[in-house]
A and B are shown apart, each in its own frame.
Chain A
Amino acid sequence: MIAHFPILVIVVVLLAAPIVPLVGRKNWVFGWYVATGATLLSFLMSLSLLNTVLTDGRISYWLGNWEPPFGIEYVYDPLNAFVLVLVSFLAFMVAVYARKSLEAELQPDRLTPFYSMYMLFVAGLMGMVATGDLFNVYVFLEITSLAGYCLIAVGQKREALMASFTYLILGTIAATFVLLGIGYLYMATGTLNMADLAQRLPDLYQSKVVLTAFAFFTVGLSIKIALFPLHNWLPNAYTYAPSVTSTIMAATATKVGAYALIRVMFTVFQPDFEVTVVHVTQVLIFVSSVAILAGSIIAVAQTDIRKMLAYSSIGQIGYITLGIALMNEIAMTGSVVHILNHALMKGSLFLVVGAIVYKTGITHINDFIGLGKKMPVTMAAFTIAALSMIGVPLTVGFVSKWYLAIGSLDAGMWYLIPVILLSSLLTAVYFWRVIDNIYFKKPEKENADEQTPPGISEAPALMLVPTFALAALCVVFGIFASVPVSIAEKAAVMLLR
Chain B
Amino acid sequence: MDIIISASPLYAVLVSLLAVVLIGVSGKNPNLRESWTIVAALIKFSIVVSMLPKILDGKIIEYTVFTMMPGLDLALRVDPLSMFFALTASLLWIITAFYCIGYMRAGKEKNQTRFYMCFAVALSGALGIAFSANLFTLFVFYEILTLCTYPLVVHKQTPEAVRGARRYLTYLLGTSIAFQLSAIFLTYFYAGTLEFTAGGILAGSASNTVITIIFVLFVMGIGKTAIMPFHAWLPAAMVAPTPVSALLHAVAVVKAGVFTLIKVILYVFGVDLLQELGLGVALAYVAAFTIIVASIMALRQDNLKLRLAYSTVGQLSYIIMAVALLTPSGITSALIAVMIHAFGKITLFFTAGAIYIAAHKTKVSELDGIGKQMPFTMFAFTVGALSMVAVPPAAGFISKWYLLLGAFEAHQLVLIGAIVVSTLLNAAYYLPIVYAAFFKPVPLGEGTEMHEAPALMVAPLVFTAIGTLVLFLWPTLLFDLAKLVLASVMGGY
List A residues at the B interface (Cβ < 8 Å): 387, 390-394, 399, 402, 405-406, 409-410, 414, 417-418, 421-422, 424-425, 428, 432, 436, 439-442, 478-482, 485
In the assembled complex, 30 residue pairs joining A and B whose CB atoms fall closer than 8 Å, in A order, are A392-B143, A393-B136, A393-B139, A393-B140, A393-B143, A394-B68, A402-B72, A402-B185, A405-B182, A405-B185, A406-B189, A409-B186, A414-B186, A418-B182, A421-B178, A424-B177, A424-B181, A425-B173, A425-B178, A428-B177, A436-B154, A436-B162, A440-B162, A440-B165, A442-B157, A442-B158, A479-B66, A480-B68, A482-B70, A485-B69
Q: How far is the CA of A480 from the CA of B74 in the complex (A)?
A: 11
Q: Nearest Cβ in chain A — how far from B25, in angstroms? A: 14
Which residues on the B side are within 8 Å of A393 (C-beta)? 136, 139-140, 143
Q: How far is the CA of A414 from the CA of B174 in the complex (A)?
A: 19
Please tell me if the beta carbons of A482 and B67 are within 8 angstroms of each other in the complex.
yes
Given contacts A393-B136, A428-B177, A440-B162, contact A402 B69 (CB under 8 A): yes
Please tell me if the beta carbons of A421 and B177 are within 8 angstroms of each other in the complex.
yes
Ranked nearest first, the 3 interchain pairs of A and B with the lowest CB-CB distance are A409-B189, A393-B140, A405-B185
**Nearest A residue (CB) for B146:** A392
Q: How far is the CA of A67 from the CA of B197 in the complex (A)?
A: 59
Q: How far is the CA of A402 from the CA of B140 in the complex (A)?
A: 13
A interface majority secondary structure: helix
Q: Nearest Cβ in chain B — how far from A116, in angstroms? A: 41
Q: How far is the CA of A393 from the CA of B177 in the complex (A)?
A: 10
Q: How far is the CA of A395 from the CA of B174 in the complex (A)?
A: 18
**Nearest B residue (CB) for A408:** B185
Q: Nearest Cβ in chain B — how far from A337, in angstroms? A: 10
Please tell me if the beta carbons of A440 and B69 are within 8 angstroms of each other in the complex.
no
Which residues on the B side are within 8 Å of A399 (C-beta)? 68-69
B216 lies within 8 A of chain A by Cβ: no
Please tell me if the beta carbons of B154 and A425 are within 8 angstroms of each other in the complex.
no
Which residues on the B side are within 8 Å of A478 (C-beta)? 68
List B residues at the A interface (Cβ < 8 Å): 66-70, 72, 74, 136, 139-140, 143, 147, 151, 154, 157-158, 162, 165-166, 169, 173-174, 177-178, 181-182, 185-186, 188-189
Q: Nearest Cβ in chain B — how far from A142, in angstroms? A: 38
Please tell me if the beta carbons of B68 and A441 are within 8 angstroms of each other in the complex.
no
Q: How far is the CA of A391 from the CA of B182 in the complex (A)?
A: 13
Please tell me if the beta carbons of B151 and A417 are within 8 angstroms of each other in the complex.
no
Q: How far is the CA of A394 from the CA of B69 in the complex (A)?
A: 11
**Nearest B residue (CB) for A482:** B69
Q: How far is the CA of A394 from the CA of B165 in the complex (A)?
A: 23
Q: How far is the CA of A405 from the CA of B139 in the complex (A)?
A: 16
**Nearest B residue (CB) for A409:** B189
Q: Nearest Cβ in chain A — how far from B131, in angstroms? A: 16
Please tell me if the beta carbons of B68 and A479 are within 8 angstroms of each other in the complex.
yes
Q: How far is the CA of A422 from the CA of B157 in the complex (A)?
A: 28
Q: How far is the CA of A336 from the CA of B72 in the complex (A)?
A: 19
**Nearest B residue (CB) for A392:** B143
Which residues on the B side are within 8 Å of A479 (C-beta)? 66, 68, 74
Given contacts A406-B189, A418-B182, A440-B151, contact A428 B173 (CB under 8 A): yes
- New A-B contacts (20) at CB < 8 Å, excluding given A409-B186, A421-B181: A387-B147, A390-B173, A391-B177, A402-B69, A410-B189, A417-B182, A421-B177, A422-B178, A424-B177, A425-B173, A425-B177, A428-B177, A432-B166, A436-B162, A440-B157, A441-B162, A480-B68, A481-B69, A482-B70, A485-B69
Q: How far is the CA of A428 from the CA of B157 in the complex (A)?
A: 20
Q: Nearest Cβ in chain B — how far from A35, in angstroms? A: 36
Q: Nearest Cβ in chain A — how far from B417, in angstroms? A: 38
Please tell me if the beta carbons of A439 and B166 are within 8 angstroms of each other in the complex.
no
Q: How far is the CA of A128 from the CA of B268 in the complex (A)?
A: 48
Which residues on the B side are within 8 Å of A424 (C-beta)? 177, 181
Please tell me if the beta carbons of A409 and B157 are within 8 angstroms of each other in the complex.
no
Q: How far is the CA of A394 from the CA of B142 in the complex (A)?
A: 12
Q: Nearest Cβ in chain B — how far from A280, in angstroms? A: 25
Please tell me if the beta carbons of B151 and A409 are within 8 angstroms of each other in the complex.
no
Given contacts A425-B177, A432-B169, contact A482 B182 (CB under 8 A): no
Q: Nearest Cβ in chain A — how far from B238, in angstroms? A: 17
Q: How far is the CA of A442 from the CA of B158 in the complex (A)?
A: 7
Q: Nearest Cβ in chain B — how far from A45, in angstroms? A: 29
Please tell me if the beta carbons of A436 and B69 are within 8 angstroms of each other in the complex.
no
Which residues on the B side are within 8 Å of A390 (C-beta)? 173, 177
Q: Nearest Cβ in chain B — how far from A161, in angstroms? A: 40
Q: Nearest Cβ in chain A — how far from B358, in angstroms? A: 27
**Nearest B residue (CB) for A444:** B159
Which residues on the B side are within 8 Å of A392 (C-beta)? 143, 147
Please tell me if the beta carbons of A440 and B154 are within 8 angstroms of each other in the complex.
yes
Q: How far is the CA of A417 from the CA of B214 in the complex (A)?
A: 13
Given contacts A393-B136, A405-B185, A406-B185, contact A482 B162 (CB under 8 A): no
Q: How far is the CA of A391 from the CA of B166 in the complex (A)?
A: 18
Q: How far is the CA of A424 from the CA of B67 in the complex (A)?
A: 24
Q: How far is the CA of A402 from the CA of B177 in the complex (A)?
A: 12
Among A390, A402, A410, A440, max chain B CB count under 10 A is at A440
**Nearest B residue (CB) for A436:** B162
Q: How far is the CA of A130 from the CA of B166 in the complex (A)?
A: 47
Q: How far is the CA of A387 from the CA of B143 in the complex (A)?
A: 11
Which residues on the B side are within 8 Å of A442 (C-beta)? 157-158
**Nearest A residue (CB) for B136:** A393
Q: How far is the CA of A410 from the CA of B192 in the complex (A)?
A: 12
Which residues on the A side are within 8 Å of B139 (C-beta)? 393
Which residues on the A side are within 8 Å of B186 (C-beta)? 409, 414
Which residues on the B side are within 8 Å of A432 (C-beta)? 166, 169
Q: Nearest Cβ in chain A — how far from B285, in angstroms? A: 27
Which residues on the A side are within 8 Å of B151 (C-beta)? 439-440
Which residues on the A side are within 8 Å of B162 (C-beta)? 436, 440-441
Q: How far is the CA of A387 from the CA of B147 in the complex (A)?
A: 10
Which residues on the A side are within 8 Å of B67 (C-beta)? 482
**Nearest B residue (CB) for A401:** B181
Q: How far is the CA of A418 from the CA of B143 in the complex (A)?
A: 19
Q: How far is the CA of A402 from the CA of B178 in the complex (A)?
A: 13
Q: How far is the CA of A398 from the CA of B455 in the complex (A)?
A: 46
Q: How far is the CA of A417 from the CA of B183 in the complex (A)?
A: 10
**Nearest A residue (CB) for B174:** A425
**Nearest B residue (CB) for A440:** B154
Q: Nearest Cβ in chain B — how far from A411, in angstroms? A: 11
Which residues on the A side are within 8 Å of B154 (C-beta)? 436, 440
Q: How far is the CA of A436 from the CA of B165 in the complex (A)?
A: 10
Q: How far is the CA of A479 from the CA of B65 in the complex (A)?
A: 11
Q: How far is the CA of A418 from the CA of B178 in the complex (A)?
A: 7
Q: Nearest Cβ in chain B — how far from A289, in angstroms? A: 16
Choose among A394, A418, A425 the residue that contacts B140 (Cβ–Cβ < 8 A).
A394
**Nearest A residue (CB) for B188:** A406
Q: Nearest Cβ in chain A — how far from B90, in angstroms? A: 23
Q: Nearest Cβ in chain A — how far from B170, in angstroms? A: 9
Q: Nearest Cβ in chain B — how far from A330, in angstroms? A: 10
Q: Nearest Cβ in chain B — how far from A369, in angstroms? A: 10
Which residues on the A side are within 8 Å of B173 (C-beta)? 390, 425, 428
Please tell me if the beta carbons of B185 and A409 are within 8 angstroms of each other in the complex.
yes
Given contacts A399-B69, A425-B178, A480-B66, contact A436 B143 (CB under 8 A): no
Q: How far is the CA of A356 from the CA of B188 in the complex (A)?
A: 41
Q: Nearest Cβ in chain A — how far from B110, in angstroms? A: 10
Please tell me if the beta carbons of A421 and B182 are within 8 angstroms of each other in the complex.
yes
Which residues on the B side are within 8 Å of A440 (C-beta)? 151, 154, 157, 162, 165
Q: How far is the CA of A173 from the CA of B157 in the complex (A)?
A: 51
Q: Nearest Cβ in chain A — how far from B140, in angstroms? A: 4
Q: Nearest Cβ in chain A — how far from B176, in angstroms? A: 10
Q: Nearest Cβ in chain B — how far from A417, in angstroms? A: 5
Q: How far is the CA of A479 from the CA of B169 in the complex (A)?
A: 24
Which residues on the A side are within 8 Å of B181 (C-beta)? 405, 421, 424
Q: Nearest Cβ in chain A — how far from B246, in angstroms? A: 21
Q: Nearest Cβ in chain B — how far from A441, in angstroms? A: 6
**Nearest A residue (CB) for B141:** A393
Q: How far is the CA of A479 from the CA of B157 in the complex (A)?
A: 32
Given contacts A432-B169, A440-B157, contact A481 B68 (CB under 8 A): yes
Q: Nearest Cβ in chain A — how far from B375, in angstroms? A: 39
